[in-house]
Amino acid sequence: MNTLTAGDAAPLFSLPDQDGNPVALESLKGKKVLVYFYPKAMTPGCTVQAQGLRDIQNELQQNNVVVLGISPDAVKRLPKFIEKEQLNFTLLSDEDHTVADAFGVWGPKKFMGKEYDGIHRITFLIDEEGNVEQVFNKFKTKEHHLVILNYLNNGE
């Protein structure tokens, strides 16, 4: 796994959103884009993480930040997650984990003694020019949104 770091150019991508419409990173130039990778919709950790981002949407918008949640879930699973949790941001389907590979977040994981390949819970803040401004990879899911806000407000 070769995870992108601050200063790297973000890989250009286009993925289907919860409605099956393509969303291209390039179309968001001029805005900051929070690209957060999560393992699976409607699981406890992913739900808490998404709820936190939902709850700070106003602050994110004030900072010109658009949120894109990316998982290997099928498109048809995403609207259920959005509806159930009343999410107010875009979810993208990366079923073949091509984008996760490009960002360096797909790799070996361990859970309950089993090893497998999967998404690592890492978030990237992409600047207005399309470069990685900040990488968030040390956080508890319930504090993810606070770590993001702290960075946006204090640069830490």
Which of the residues 46, 65, 68, 92 is marked catalytic? 46
- Neighbouring-strand partners of residue 29: none
How many Cα atoms sit within 13 Å of 49 on the Cβ side?
Answer: 27
3-class secondary-structure state, position 106: strand
Q: Around Cβ 54, how many Cβ atoms within 10 Å?
A: 16
Q: Is 90 a catalytic residue?
A: no
In 45-89, the DSSP E strands lie at 65-71
Report strand pairing: 65-71 vs 32-37: parallel
Active site residues per annotation: 46
